[in-house]
Structure 1
Amino acid sequence: MKKIKKHLTMKELPVTERPYEKCEKNGAGTLSDAELLAIILKTGTRGDKVMDLAVQLLNLNPSCPGLEGIMGIELADFQKIRGIGRVKAVQLAAVCELSRRMSRIQFSESYAFTTPQSIADYYMAYMCRLGHEEVHVMMLDTKQHMISECLLTKGTVNASLIAPREIFIQALKAGAVSIVLVHNHPSGDDTPSREDLAATEKVRSAGELIGIRLIDHIIIGSGHFTSLCGSWNH
């Protein structure tokens, strides 16, 4: 006979430990990170209360425990925790993506990206905790409003292999006047490598020939960034 797996629900928790009740009584702002996650998870597993499951989730990324660490976790990695299956993993991934998008609400179509900090602020929440490397290209108009952006490469990226041709095909299609390269270092160290510097110069030179200026190349680390160009004069 198949063993029936018993889940511990919110109702099985003592009243004082129920995040739903605490939220209703005192507001969501009074809940801990674990309690907020417990509301999303809803149930635990045999032997693990839902709050225990939430704590395990917060410690899933050993290099960066807590909510920041969760932001960089892939869908499949959520399911490594016993009690988090396909549905819960998708729900968690959706919450993380909503958080990233909400962090960008301030960047309306009329927002002008005029400093390295403004670029870093736009990408930081998404890129600073990724477990893999990504290279993004931001396309800007004459007033440095973003026309569009694209993901150029994803995975283990060798910056020396960044192809100016692909970058400027996208920039020309978008009608961009200038571009910004952005990529992350999964190690959290935003110190540029020789390859990063070489790739920056290669793209900058190609842009001069085409007439599309490379304003900057931003490297995102763990909560901080490096600007390789700083060509922010208008």
Structure 2
Amino acid sequence: MRQVEEAPLFGLANTPKPVAPKPHWQGHRDRLRTKLVERGASALEDYELLETLLFAFIPRRDVKPVSKALIARFGSLSGVLAARPADLVKVGGVGETVAAYLKATAEIGARASRETLQARTVISSWSALTDYVKKELQHEGREQFRVLFLDRKNQLIADEIMGHGTVDHAPVYPREIARRSLELQASSLILVHNHPSGDPTPSRADIDMTREIMDALDALDITVHDHLIAARSGVLSFRAQGLI
């Protein structure tokens, strides 16, 4: 009796399953990581550097549009890291977890800068000082007044906020600065505040307030080395402008 070969069920038994193509962004991630490792982080554009950071936080989607949208929304890479979580989550693809990780990354950078500054003689490390001030204050939305308290070797003892304010004013009390200087046994200090308007040009009130603080500290033999104003366009030095 002749054996009849059975036909495959529905004609699909021997049909290979189609292989899903890899998402286009998967290869892009590999290439970007290779570029970073082989050529260094400085070889990456700002949006590419932000992409590599987002890889860890957003594992299964193309993050290039998210990275570019963040920089477009906040103006720069530093602007992204300085942004408030409530503003970050307004960008498509950014949730509370990603916003939290971005803020943690920003704080790591700020603390690393502070450690670098603490290990050096502040007044002779102008680039380290201005980098630190810019990271801390250039994107701050409200005016903030800070004091860098220095020891006899002009090394940083503490960086403290001495006044919070509105978009154009932060109350400052010279006697409070003098009291805190004595508590920390500071020999000198540098005044720092920001201009949220983006223009670091000092106002008449800025100049008068600086003089009041210097007068309060003169009797204590505590020197004011400089007053720095941070803004998006840069950092202005009172001493370099001949105002101290």
**Where on the TM-score scale, by shorter chain, does this alignment land: which range?**
0.7 to 0.9
The structure 1 residue matched to 2:65, chosen from 49, 52, 57, is 52
- Correspondence for 2:197 among 167, 187, 191: 187
CA distance in 2 between counterparts of 1:26 and 1:164 reads: 48
Residue 219 in structure 1 maps to residue 218 in structure 2? no
The alpha-carbon deviation at position 166 of structure 1 amounts to 1.8
More displaced 10-residue stretch of structure 1: 198-207 or 123-132:
123-132
Provide the TM-score with structure 2 as the length reference. 0.75
Distance 1:52 1:174, change over 3 A: same
How many Å apart are 1:26 and its aligned residue? Answer: 5.8
Change beyond 3 A, Cα 1:34–1:169: same
Q: CA RMSD in A?
A: 2.9
Identity among equivalent positions (%) equals 31
Does residue 106 of structure 1 match 2:119? no
Aligned residue number for residue 98 of structure 2: 88
SS of the aligned residue for 1:37 comes to helix
Offset of 1:115 from its aligned partner? 4.9
After TM superposition, the structure 1 = structure 2 runs for residues 1-234 of structure 1, keeping only pairs within 5 Å, are 12-16=23-27, 18-24=28-34, 27=37, 29=41, 30-42=43-55, 43=58, 49-61=62-74, 65-109=75-119, 111-115=120-124, 117=126, 119-156=129-166, 161-229=171-239
CA, structure 1 residues 25+198, in 2 after alignment: closer, same or farther (shift >3 Å)? closer
Between the aligned partners of 2:235 and 2:142, the Cα distance in structure 1 is: 16
Aligned to 2:15: none
The structure with the largest alpha-carbon Rg is: 2
Deviations 1:31-71 (A, max 9, x none): 443333233334389xx84221111111112xxx2213213
Q: What does the per-residue CA deviation read over 1:207-228, in whole Å, with 9 as the maximum and x for residues that have no partner?
A: 1123322222111123522222
What do the CA deviations read for 1:184-220 (whole angstroms, capped 9, x no partner)?
1122211000110111011011111233222221111
Q: Distance in 2 between matches of 1:210 and 1:79?
A: 48
Distance in 2 separating the partners of 1:158 and 1:34: 31
3-state SS, counterpart of residue 156 of structure 1? coil
Partner amino acid, structure 1, of 2:70: L
CA distance in 1, matches of 2:174, 2:134: 24
Q: Is the contact between residue 73 and residue 131 of structure 1 (CA under 8 Å) also seen in structure 2?
A: no
Structure 2 residue runs of 5 or longer lacking an equivalent are 1-21
What is the deviation of 1:21? Answer: 4.4
Read off the aligned partner of 1:51 and give its amino acid letter.
K
Q: Matched residue pairs, number?
A: 215
Taking the aligned partners of 1:222 and 1:25, their CA distance within structure 2 comes to: 30
Deviates more, 1:23-32 or 1:209-218: 23-32
The gaps in structure 1 that reach 5 residues or longer are: 1-10
The change in CA–CA distance for 1:21 and 1:116 in structure 2 (over 3 A counts) is closer
Question: Residues 207, 74 of structure 1: CA spacing in aligned structure 2 closer, same or farther, 3 A cutoff?
Answer: same
Aligned to 1:4: none
**Rounded Cα–Cα distance in structure 2 between residues aligned with 1:14 and 1:145:** 47
How many angstroms apart in 2 are the aligned matches of 1:78 and 1:44? 18
Of 71-80 and 19-28, more deviation after overlay is shown by 19-28
Give the whole-Å Cα distance in 2 for the aligned partners of 1:87 and 1:51: 18
Task: Give yes or no for contact 1:71–1:130 (8 Å, CA) kept in 2.
Answer: no
Alignment partner, residue 6 of structure 1: none
Q: State the alpha-carbon separation in 1 of the partners of residues 116 and 125 from structure 2.
A: 16
Alignment-derived partner of residue 7 in structure 1: none
C-alpha contact 1:218 1:228 (8 A) present in aligned 2: yes
